[in-house]
């Protein structure tokens, strides 16, 4: 029995749940955790997420907040500092549906509904926040200053790795200032913050968002921009399709600008560094790393074209 399998039995017992009768690993989903999908003696299905190398407090305050605000998230059932046990969310990953050309208009409407529910949890403008052990901590932050800072931090890395983009940074700084009012006036909302389509489970009754380890508060346009970028990296769609917005509502005002600045941050923050060097990384994930990096570089290399859309 592996350490993760032993942990599954331990966490289930600690949560006072019926014994595990079967389980299977879920592969190809994430880079930094191991996942087991288990069936209990009462036929209930649960999912264990194990992060062997990273200790985190059990997100009890976050779980209560999500449940109280009707956010489309699976219920937290138990866990410890290295693992969390959640109810199972039936359905298929949006990433698989898009990649295999099986996503339907109804699937997009279901996803739009889920993000509408999430972003309905609103806060005043110019706030940023994360969940800590004691609950949600909010702090004032000027979104205009933050975007300028991201570009300044990105420039040295772009000069080395993607110099074609550097000449367009002054115009991007100008666009941030030109859009200062809508950026500063946008209401903030609860954000999942890791909207990899593998974390979006399209089920028969609803879409559920899983893997809530990085929940934030910020401009919902950031999250929609990130989701658009993720989908673009799978099938090169320029935007989310219309059925998504039929249920979500209008595309947020600042989405296009956050799409450009977010892609720059993602490319230059080194989110993929080292993954392709890990010997035990699933080969499919190594391929995905290379494809994401190449896709971001391709998108950013067309910066001149993107800027003309403003």
| SS3 assignment, position 58 | coil
- Greater confidence (190 vs 33) lies with 190
- Its sign, for the CA torsion 192, 194, 197, 202, is negative
What is the 3 state secondary structure string of 70-138? CCCCCCEEEECCCEEEEECCCCEEHHHHHHCCCCCHHHHHHHHHHHHHHHCCEECCCEEEEEECCEEEE
What confidence tier does 174 reach under pLDDT thresholds 50, 70, 90?
A: very high
% of the chain surpassing 70 pLDDT:
93
C-alpha closest to that of 241 among 119, 103, 115, 117:
103
Structure tokens at 310: 């403003």
Q: C-alpha distances in angstroms, 17 versus 43, 79, 82?
A: 11, 12, 19
Number of residues that make up the chain = 310
Other Cβ atoms within 10 Å of 67 Cβ, number: 12
Residue-wise pLDDT for 238-294, tens only, equals: 999 999 999 999 999 999 999 999 999 999 986 555 444 455 556 666 777 778 888
88 vs 256: CA distance, rounded Å: 34
Q: Provide the pLDDT confidence category of residue 232 given band limits of 50, 70 and 90.
A: very high
CA angle 230, 233, 239 (to 5 degrees): 65
How do residues 144-165 score in pLDDT, each as one tens digit? Answer: 999 999 999 999 999 999 999 9
**Which domains occur in the chain, in start order?**
1-88 (3.30.200.20), 90-307 (3.90.1200.10)
Q: Tokens 């002054």 — which residue?
A: 170
DSSP tag of 213? T
What is the Cα–Cα distance from 149 to 249, expressed in whole angstroms? Answer: 30
The 10 Å CB-count burial string (b at 16+, else e) for 190-205 is bbbbbbbbbbbbbeee
**For tokens 């600690």, what's the residue?**
14
Closest Cα partner for 214 from 191, 239, 196?
191
Distance separating the N- and C-terminal Cα atoms of the chain = 57
Average pLDDT over every residue of 186-202: 96
- pTM for the whole thing? 0.94
Tokens representing 213?
């380890």
Q: pLDDT of 19-69, one tens digit each?
A: 999 999 987 555 567 999 999 999 999 999 998 888 889 999 999 999 999
Q: Among 244, 161, 237, 214, which Cα is nearest to 30's?
A: 214
Question: Beta strands of 127-183 (E only): which ranges?
Answer: 127-132, 135-140
Distance CA 112, CA 132 (A): 28
């Amino acid at each position: 029995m592996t350490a993760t399998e032993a942990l599954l039995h331990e966490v289930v017992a600690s949560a006072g749940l019926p014994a595990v009768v079967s389980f299977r690993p879920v592969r190809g989903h994430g880079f930094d955790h191991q996942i087991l999908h288990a069936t209990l003696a009462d036929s209930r299905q649960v999912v264990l997420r194990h992060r062997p190398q990273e200790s985190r407090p059990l997100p009890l305050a976050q779980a209560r907040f999500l449940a109280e605000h009707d956010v489309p998230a699976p219920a937290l059932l138990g866990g410890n500092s290295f693992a969390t046990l959640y109810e199972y969310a039936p359905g298929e990953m949006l990433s698989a549906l898009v990649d295999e050309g099986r996503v339907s208009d109804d699937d997009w409407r279901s996803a739009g509904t889920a993000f509408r529910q999430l972003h309905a949890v609103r806060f005043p403008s110019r706030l940023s926040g994360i969940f800590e052990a004691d609950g949600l901590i909010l702090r004032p932050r000027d979104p205009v200053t933050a975007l300028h800072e991201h570009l300044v931090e990105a420039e040295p890395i772009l000069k080395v790795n993607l110099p074609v983009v550097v000449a367009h940074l002054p115009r991007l700084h100008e666009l941030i200032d030109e859009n200062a009012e809508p950026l500063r006036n946008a209401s903030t909302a609860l954000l999942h913050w890791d909207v990899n389509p593998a974390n979006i489970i399209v089920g028969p009754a609803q879409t559920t968002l899983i893997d809530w380890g990085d929940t934030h508060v910020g401009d919902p346009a950031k999250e929609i921009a990130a989701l658009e970028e993720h989908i673009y990296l799978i099938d090169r769609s320029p935007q989310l399709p219309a059925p998504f917005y039929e249920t979500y509502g209008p595309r947020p005002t600042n989405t296009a600008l956050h799409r450009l600045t977010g892609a720059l941050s993602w490319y230059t923050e080194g989110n993929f560094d080292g993954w392709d060097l890990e010997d035990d990384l699933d080969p499919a994930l190594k391929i995905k790393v290379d494809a994401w990096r190449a896709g971001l570089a391709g998108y950013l290399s067309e910066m001149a074209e993107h800027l003309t859309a403003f």
